[in-house]
Structure 1
Amino acid sequence: MPHIYLCLLLAGLCAFAHCHHTLDHKEDHDHSPLAEGDRDLPSVKIVQGNADFAFRFYHHVASETAEKNIIFSPLSISAALAILSLGAQNTTLSQLLLGLGFNQSDTSEQEIHEGFHHLLHMLNLPNAEIKLSIGNALFTNDQVKLVKKFLDDAKHFYEADVLPTNFMNPAVAESQINGYIKNKTNGKLDDVVQGLDPEAVMIIVNYIYMTAFWKNPFNYLHTSEGDFYVDDQTTVKVPMMNKDSRFETYRDNILSCEVVKLPYKGDVSAFFILPDQGKMKQVENALSKDVLLKWMKLLALPRFTISSNYVLQEMLRKMNITEVFTNRADLSGITGKPELKVSKASHKAVLDVNERGTEAAAVSFGSDKKGPNAPSSVLLKFDRPFFFFMWAPEDWVMLFMGKIVNPL
């Protein structure tokens, strides 16, 4: 049975990020951020669905990788699956949309794709202080004719590059796809696609690359070696960045954790959540999209670079996206024939946090194959496992999220 390969990749977080996007084609010339009067735009529903998807996906990943670092881009994964839904029908379609957090009785397919279209335009605005780029690409089998409407919709709503590819020569095809991903993620992601099947019909790629500088950077001269307590038995030495400054923070006494907001230049912020000793699981189980309050404290944060690579099939199946991976899949909107399924879906991410800021990149891909209190002055030291979230607060878009268990 012919198959589709979903490629969802994330490349780095240190000072730059990357993103892209594309029913009825409506011209959209207003690329300005959402104003108060624009809160009813479809993009708002996309953001809400994306946040819901992000936390559900995180909890499934955490249940499988309890003692490992986690880093992924909810937006990258959901955008790639949204493109796939353009060609899905019947149960396959409803499972994809519900899994992504969209109720078709509240949000139509048209609104979903228009929402992604508007959101991607807003996020891809050039900014001298922050570079955020999101994009999509379809690598199509040059021997298989795809449905024109599917291709037109992918180009329009998600601005996808459509690139004919010779899958009969897997080595050449892999080189073409990996070269594209490496270029779009500024070299952060390399050799992502391997072992291509000559019978693949299409590879769907979403990439995100971001570079953002701290609004108030850490001083390299204040970075010194410190202990990071991975668990009761494991302690590692890490370069600990130190900053004597006031920050927006929130103490959650119910969940026993501290929340610290570190703003970047531009419109992106990072949130670091530090559970009290022994409260990691309690905080993790309670994580939701509603955690956001402000406090002021002192901060010590480790410098780190981490990466993760996920095979998404099992995670998505737990989120009730199942049929698309079976012979019952209905992706006839892509080729005009029902014999098509997703054979592989993966997501790769790299995160680099240092004194200057953050650099991040991500890629997602898949393939089809035939067949408030007063300010306090307390030392807040991130010397044990913690969580992080990175988002564009103006639009409430969750760009990256994860957990640091071991900075090394």
Structure 2
Amino acid sequence: MNSAVYLCLILLGLCTTIQGHHLEGHDDNTSANALKIYTYTAQFAVTLYKELSAASPGKNVFFSPLSISAIFSLLSLGAKSTTHTQILEGLSFNLSAIQEKEIHQSFHDIFSVLTRRDSQIQLDIGQALFLKEDKKPLQKFLDDIHGFYDAEILPTKFQEPAEAEKQINDYVEKKTHGKIVKLVNSLQEDTELVLVNYMFFKGNWKKPFDPQQTTERDFFVDQEKTVKVPMMHRMGWFYYYFDPELSCTVLQLDYNGTATAFFVLPERGKEKELEQSLSTCVLNKWAVHVSRHTANVYIPKFNISTSYDLKEPLIKLGIRDVFSDHADLTGFTGQPLKVTKVNHKAVLTVDEKGTEAAAATAVEAMPMSLPPTLEFNHPFMVLLYNTVTNSTLFIGKIVDPTEQ
């Protein structure tokens, strides 16, 4: 009988945004490897988004495809045979077009870029493995996870579940700056390995919204439900695009530094059509077509938190054996293991904040004619990218901004 593995993925996004780059932009210092997996990770983001959205009708959706891809790629280092192939192919990697070593090297290079301390955004990313005290990892596995993912391995007394839970939860709370508490609970005594991936993101808008312009306005959740939300407002120059084929407006908002966000507002009644048509080609089209125009923009100020057990969605994507008694994870310790649960948590905060140096709202010259109004007052999508590596940091759908 295989012993248990518990995967935990923790994401924090503390966000604010406006104006600028395209997704494909990157600087001269970026390793070519960091861009090799862009197409695959973008495809995985779209595929998993559709699964989670379909499984949670009428609910907010928010997660990090980069985080999930990274932790399962790390997991594949301990997997063999069909289990190994299913993990990588389930993450949308085409193993006939890219070598496995290139995948792991790409994640290594992406994380190196994302965690640069000279960046104007704060992005803390890391992996940790909590391993039962009497288990010894194989040397090759140790070399691989240190070399590619810089992951920690921490001995843990899983035979004392309460003590193990405290160790893991304290670690996560510290790494996420107190934003995620009590991540794990009800650990079983037969648990032998818990994998944790965390991401803490905090950015400031290039052009912050003026809090004095934030007013309470209606947000139409659906035909029956309307809620009051604090709506941020700014009139000025923005990058946006109306997609006539998908009947949606795409607004690009930039952070200071190397992150940008896309807010996608479908016309009412066109939400399902947008989700069904979503693809990497569509994302690239939006990035290319946004252009600078004046607009009168309203965006909700909100704070949402999501939590998922990803086992069933990942099984639907083809990652099956790792959750069954057929799992071959003998590359970890040489002994049988299987994954029992995959936890993923994410937090997204959108408000007016900018940097201290940008506390005053800049005055922009605008045409005399009244600009169009873009009001995000019904369900919309949000995507956050790193503009250097093309990495999809977060993707989601805001159905009800008042739902915590």
Normalising by structure 2, report the TM-score: 0.89
Code of the residue aligned with 2:328 in structure 1: it is D
Of 388, 392, 395, 2:382 maps to 388
Query: What's the CA shift string for 1:76-123, capped at 9, x where partnerless?
Result: 111110110001001000000101121222111111111111111011
Q: Which residue of 1 aligns with 2:348?
A: 351
Tell me the equivalent position of 1:199.
Answer: 190
For 1:88, the aligned partner's letter is A
Partner of 2:14: 13
Amino acid at match of 1:306: I
Q: CA deviation at 1:35?
A: 4.2
Shift of 1:3: 1.5
Distance of 1:84 and 1:196 partners within structure 2: 20
Letter in 1 for 2:303: T
In 1: Cα distance, 2:340 partner to 2:95 partner: 26
Q: Counterpart in 1 of 2:34?
A: 43
Q: Is residue 2:335 matched to residue 1:341? A: no
Q: Letter of the aligned partner of 2:297 in structure 1? A: L
Q: In structure 2, how many angstroms separate the alpha carbons of the residues matched to 1:15 and 1:238? A: 17
CA distance in 2, matches of 1:382, 1:123: 29
Counterparts of 2:69 and 2:340, CA distance in 1: 17
- In structure 1, how many angstroms separate the alpha carbons of the residues matched to 2:275 and 2:223? 18
> In the aligned structure 2, how far is the partner of 1:66 from the partner of 1:285?
14
Deviation at 1:258, TM superposition (A): 0.2
CA distance in 1, matches of 2:280, 2:93: 16
- Give per-residue Cα distances to partners, 1:296-349, cap 9 Å, x unaligned: 222100000111111111000010000100111111101213x21111111111
Once residues 209 and 93 of structure 1 are traced to their aligned partners in structure 2, the CA distance between those partners, rounded to angstroms, is: 29
**Alignment CA distance shift 1:326-1:351 (3 Å):** same
Deviates more, 1:321-330 or 1:349-358: 349-358
Task: For residue 274 of structure 2, give the secondary structure of its aligned residue in structure 1.
Answer: helix
Shift of 1:37: 9.3
**Corresponding residue SS for 1:262:** strand
Question: What are the residue-to-residue correspondences of 1:257-406 with 2, within 5 Å?
Answer: 257-290=248-281, 291=283, 292=286, 293-295=289-291, 296=293, 297-337=295-335, 339-356=336-353, 377-406=371-400
2:401 is matched with 407
Answer yes or no: is the 8 Å Cα contact 1:255–1:282 preserved in 2.
Answer: yes
Name the % identity: 43
For the residues of structure 1 that align with 2:271 and 2:138, how far apart are their CA atoms? 49
Residues 75-224 of structure 1: pairs in structure 2 closer than 5 A: 75-127=66-118, 129-224=120-215
Please tell me the residue identity of whatever aligns with 1:352.
T
The 3 A distance-change label for structure 1 pair 393 and 57 is same
Deviation at 1:46, TM superposition (A): 2.2
Matched with 1:68 is 59
**Contact 2:229–2:300 (CA under 8 A) maintained in structure 1:** yes
Q: String of CA shifts for 1:103-158, please: whole Å, max 9, x gaps.
A: 22211111111111111101110135211111111111101222121122112210
Corresponding position of 2:237: 246
Deviations 1:171-193 (A, max 9, x none): 11111111111111111111011
TM-score by length of structure 1 reads 0.88
Counterpart-to-counterpart distance in 2, 1:140 and 1:148: 14
8 Å Cα contact 2:80-2:329 kept in structure 1: yes
Q: Does the CA-based 8 Å contact 1:87-1:333 persist in structure 2?
A: yes
Amino acid in the other structure paired with 2:396: G
Could you report, residue by residue, the CA deviation over 1:328-382 in whole angstroms, capped at 9, with x for unpaired residues?
Answer: 1111101213x21111111111111000169xxxxxxxxxxxxxxx998201001
* Contact 1:15 1:210 (C-alpha < 8 Å) held by counterparts: no
CA distance in 1, matches of 2:254, 2:10: 25
Matched to 1:316, the amino acid is L
Distance in 2 between residues matched to 1:128 and 1:157, nearest whole Å: 22
Aligned residue pairs, count: 375
Amino acid at match of 1:6: L
Q: Tell me, what secondary structure is at the counterpart of 1:94?
A: helix
Aligned partners of 2:299, 2:66: CA distance in 1, in Å?
26
Distance 2:40 2:229 in 1: 37
Matched residue, 1:3: 4
Looking at structure 2, the residues matched to 15 and 177 of structure 1 have their Cα atoms a distance apart, in angstroms, of 30
AA paired with 2:56? T
Q: Is the 8 A contact 1:264 1:357 kept in 2?
A: no
Q: Write the distance in 1 (CA, Å) between the matches of 2:120 and 2:387.
A: 15
Sort the Cα spacing of 1:155 and 1:275 in 2 relative to 1 into closer, same or farther, 3 A. Answer: same
Structure 2: runs of 5 or more not aligned: 18-24, 356-366
In the alignment, the residues of structure 2 paired with residue 166 and residue 34 of structure 1 have an alpha-carbon distance, to the nearest angstrom, of 44
Classify 1:241/1:5 alpha carbon distance in 2 versus 1 (closer, same or farther; 3 Å).
same
Per the TM alignment, residue 289 of structure 1 is displaced from its structure 2 partner at its CA by 2.5
Alignment check: 8 A CA contact 2:30 2:389 kept: no
